[in-house]
Amino acid sequence: MAKSGKYRSKSKTSKKHPAPASAASTKEAPDRLERPAVDTPADPLLRRIFWGLAVAGLLIMAGLSFGSGINADDKFQNDYSLKLVDYYTSFGKDTAALNVPDGNMHLYGGFFEIITGLANKALGFEPNDLGYHNVRHLFTAILGWVAILCAALLARLIAGWRAGVITLVIMLVSPRFLGDSLMNPKDIPFAAGYIMAVYNMAAVLSRMPSPGRWNIAGLVAGLAISLAMRAGGLLNFAYLFMFAGLFLVLKKGWGSLFDLQTIRRYAVVVVGAAVAGYIGALLFWPFALQKPLTNPYFALTKFSDFEIAIRVLYDGENVKSNQTPWHYLVRWIELTIPLAAVLGFLGSLALLPRLLKRYQPLWIGLVYFAAIFPVVYVIYKKSNVYDGWRQLTFAYPTLAVAAALFWNELLNLFSGKKVVQYATYGLLALLLSDAAIFIAANPKIPYVYFNPLAGGVKGAYGKYETDYWGVSIRQGIEWMEQQGILKPDMTEKVVIATNMFYPADKLLAKYGDMVKVKYLKWERRCDDVWDYGLFPTRFIDGNTLEKGYWPPDNAAHVIEAGGTPILAILKDSDRNCAFGIAAMKLQDWTGAIDYLRKEVAAVPDNELAWANLAQAYLNSSQLDEAKAAAEKALEISPDDLQANNLLGLYWINKGDVAQAKAQFEQALRREPANPAAYYYLATIAQRQGDNQTALNNLRQAIEIAPTFRPAYEFSALIYESMGNTAAAQQYRAILQQLR
C-alpha cells in the first residue's frame, strides 16, 4: 500500500526523481499536478485510528456474513462454480463451464466462483450444506472490505489520513454496500476489483518513475479481478491508459509524448500492468481462454441481448425494468445511501473548484469520473436495470470518496474554529446515525435500508422493492424452527411454498424428505396445496402493499426490517383456494364457487380467490356476482390481469361494447403484456367491421405470447373472411405446429 500522500514541490527533498537529461523540453514544461503536501501533525494518530477502524470493520463484516441469508441469484452462481471447479480439476477436459445457458454464466469471469469453489471442495462442503454458503459469504465480505479499504486509501492518497478515516466510516455504515458485502457474489467482487484498480493506478502514476511494488501488484490484481468477474472490467483498462496519458502530459508537458526514454519508462509500467492484468483475468475465465483477444469483448457486447425485462416497483408503480424512467438509478441511490454521503457528494460538487486547486486535480477527476461516468452511461444507453442500483454498486466507493473529501475540506475551512469543527463532526455523526442504527437493528439484512429522504423502510414500503433477493427466507425458516414447526425429529411431512425456491431449498435440505419445497409465484400460489408459504414482498403489487392488504390474513408470522414487513410466513390449513382452482380446471363451477367463497370468508384479502371466484361466477352466468368479485380483487390488487380482463368480459356480456373496450384498454395500461386483452379488443374490432384493427391487435397478442393459439385461429378466420387464403393457411400451419 502507499506510504505517502505528499505531492512535493521541486526542492532538495525531491532529488531522488530528477528529470531525465534527454528530456530538455520537458524540464521547462510547467508541472500542472504539483500540489502542497497533504500530511498534518495529527497524522500519526489518524493513521492508527484508520487501521484500527479498518481491522474492526473486517472482523465485523466477517462475523455478520455468517448470519446472512442466501441470495436467490446464487442458483446461477453456484452451478457455475461447480462447473468451473470441474473444468480446472479435470485440466479442461470437462467443458461444461464453456457454455452455461442458464443465466449465460459463461459470459462472466469466474474469479470468485473458482476461489470459493475450490475452498468448498477442500473443506468438503456441498451446496446443500450451510457451510458451503458461509464460505461464499465470508469471501464476499472480505472482498467488500477490500473495496472499502481501497476507497479509504484513495481518499488518504488525495487528502490525507483524516479523509481516509471519514471514507472508512461512511463506507462501513452504508447499509446497502455492507448488506451486499454479506451475500452478493457478483457485484461486490467486481466493485472490489474496480476500486482496487482505480486506487492503485493513482498510486502508481503519482510515484512514477519509481512506483511501489505493492501498488503495481495491486493495480494488476484490480485489473484482473474486475475483468475476471465481468466483461465490464475492460473499463478499468480504458481508465488506466486514459489517465496515464493525461498524467504524463500534465506532469511533463506535451513534449514528453516525443521523448522515447520517458515513453518507454511509462509504457513498461502501464502496458506491463495491463497485459499482466489481462492475462490474470483470462486464467479465471475459461470462455475467454478459448479466444483471448475476442471473447471478452464478445461477452461485453452480448449482455444486452440476454437481458430479461422483469417487473419492478418504482415510485409506487409496477413497471417493466426496460421501461423505467431515466432517473430510476439516481433516485434509488439518493434514497438508499446515508445522508452524510448524499450531502457530502453534492457538497463536494459545490467545493469542486477548491478541491481541484488544493489537491491533485487528476485524482479528483478520476474519483468523479469513476463515480459518475458509469451511471451516466447506463442512463444514456437506456440499459435494462432492476433491483435498485446494485448493478452499479462498483461506482459507490468513489462516490463515498467524493463525499469524504467534502467533509474533510469543510473541516479544513474551519481549522481555526474548534467549536465549528466539533459541530461539523457532530453533523457528520448525526447524518450517519440513522444508517448505523439500522445496521445494528437489522444485522442479517441491512441491504434493504432506505434513508430518511424516503421516510425509511416504512416510507418506501409499497413504493420501492425491499427484499428483492429473498434473503429474509432464512429468517423465516429460523422462526419456523424456533416454533418447532421444523425440527430434526419431525414425524409429519411439511410442504412449503415459496417464490424464492433456491434459498429455501438449500436451507431446508437438511430435513431431507420430511420437508417438500414447492416453487409457486405469488400470483400462482393457489395452483398447488401446501402447509406453509414463505413469500417476501418481491413482485407484489405496490398498491396492495400501500393499502395494507399484505401481509394477508393467513400470515402466521411476519419478518420485519425497520418496523416494516419484508417476509410473510403464511399458513394454509383448509386449502380452499387450491381446491377451488383445481375445480376450475375441471370446469366444476359450482364446486369452485363453494371452495372460493370459503376462502374469501377466511382470507378476505386473497385477490387470487376473488379473481377466480369472479371467473367461476361469469362461467355460471352470474354476471353481477362476477362483477362484484372482480372489483374486490382489483381493490386489493389493481394490476391483477385476470380481474381486469373479467370486468371487460362482464361488459361484453352486458352488451356495452364501449365500456368493454375502455376496460380492456385500461387493463393494457396497467399490464402491457396482456395477450387476452388484445384478443378481446380484436373481437370487438372485428364485430364492428374493422378487420385491420382486429388483426393488429391479434399480432400484438402473438408478439407477447407466441404460443397463444386462439390468436392464430382468430387471425386465420379473419383472413378467410377477407378472401386472403394464403395468409389464413399460414396461420393454420402455425396452429398445427403448436399442437
Backbone phi, psi, residue 533, to 5°: -125, 140
C-alpha cell at 142: 472480505
Helix pair angle (576-585, 589-602), 10° resolution: 160
Dihedrals phi, psi of 36, to nearest 5 degrees: -65, 160
pLDDT, average across residues 563-570: 95
The proportion of the chain whose per-residue pLDDT surpasses 70, expressed as a percent, equals 95
Give the Cα separation of 350 and 270 in Å (integer). Answer: 33
pLDDT tens digit sequence for 211-223: 889 999 999 999 9
pLDDT in tens, 430-461: 999 999 999 999 999 999 999 999 999 999 99
Q: In whole angstroms, give the CA distance from residue 111 to residue 117.
A: 10
> For 491, which DSSP code?
-
- What pLDDT, on the 0 to 100 scale, is given for residue 407? 97
Residue 10: is its pLDDT beyond 50? no
Mean pLDDT of 598-620: 95
Q: Count of H helices and E strands in the chain? A: 33, 7
DSSP code per residue over 1-54 = --S------SSGGGTTSPPPTT-HHHHSS--TT-------TTHHHHHHHHHHHH
Judge whether residue 244 has pLDDT over 50: yes
- For the segment 676-699, the average pLDDT, to the nearest whole number, is 94
pLDDT score at 37 = 72
pLDDT at 706 over 70: yes
Q: Higher confidence at residue 18 or residue 605?
A: 605
Length of the chain: 739
pLDDT at 260: 80
Q: Are 338 and 174 a contacting pair, CB within 8 Å? A: yes
Q: Is the pLDDT of residue 139 over 80?
A: yes
Distance CA 536, CA 559 (A): 9
Topology of domain 576-738, CATH:
1.25.40
What's the pLDDT tens digit per position in 485-522?
999 999 999 999 999 999 999 999 999 999 999 999 99
Give the HSE-up count for residue 738: Cα atoms under 13 Å, Cβ half-sphere. Answer: 16
What is the spatial distance between Cα 300 and Cα 230, in angstroms, rounded to a whole number?
Answer: 8
ω into 20 cis (within 30 of 0) = no
Residue 590's CB is within 10 A of a number of other CB atoms, namely: 9
Q: What average pLDDT score do residues 248-266 get?
A: 79
Whether residue 4 is predicted with pLDDT greater than 50 in this model: the reply is: no
> Can you tell me which residue has the cell 434514497?
335
pLDDT at 306: 55
**Other CB atoms closer than 10 Å to residue 704's CB: what's the count?**
16
Q: How high is the pLDDT of residue 520?
A: 96
pLDDT of the residue at 639:
87
- The ranges assigned to domains in the chain are 40-441, 473-571, 576-738
Q: Do β-strands 494-498 and 311-314 pair in parallel, antiparallel, or remain unpaired? A: unpaired
Mean pLDDT of the chain: 91
pLDDT of 153 above 90 = yes
Say how many CA atoms lie within 13 Å of 176 toward its Cβ.
30
User: What pLDDT, on a 0 to 100 scale, did the predictor assign at position 5?
Assistant: 42
pLDDT tens digits, 45-83: 999 999 999 999 999 999 999 999 999 889 999 999 999
Q: Which pLDDT band, with edges at 50, 70 and 90, does 649 fall under?
A: very high
pLDDT per position as a tens digit, 361-411:
999 999 999 999 999 999 998 888 888 999 999 999 999 999 999 999 999
Helix ranges, 228-327 (H): 234-252, 260-282, 286-290, 295-302
Q: Check: CB of residue 341 under 8 Å from CB of residue 174.
A: yes
Q: Which residue, among 56, 169, 163, has the nearest Cα to 432 in the 3D structure?
A: 169
Q: Is the pLDDT of residue 290 over 70?
A: yes
Give Dmax over CA atoms of the chain in angstroms: 98
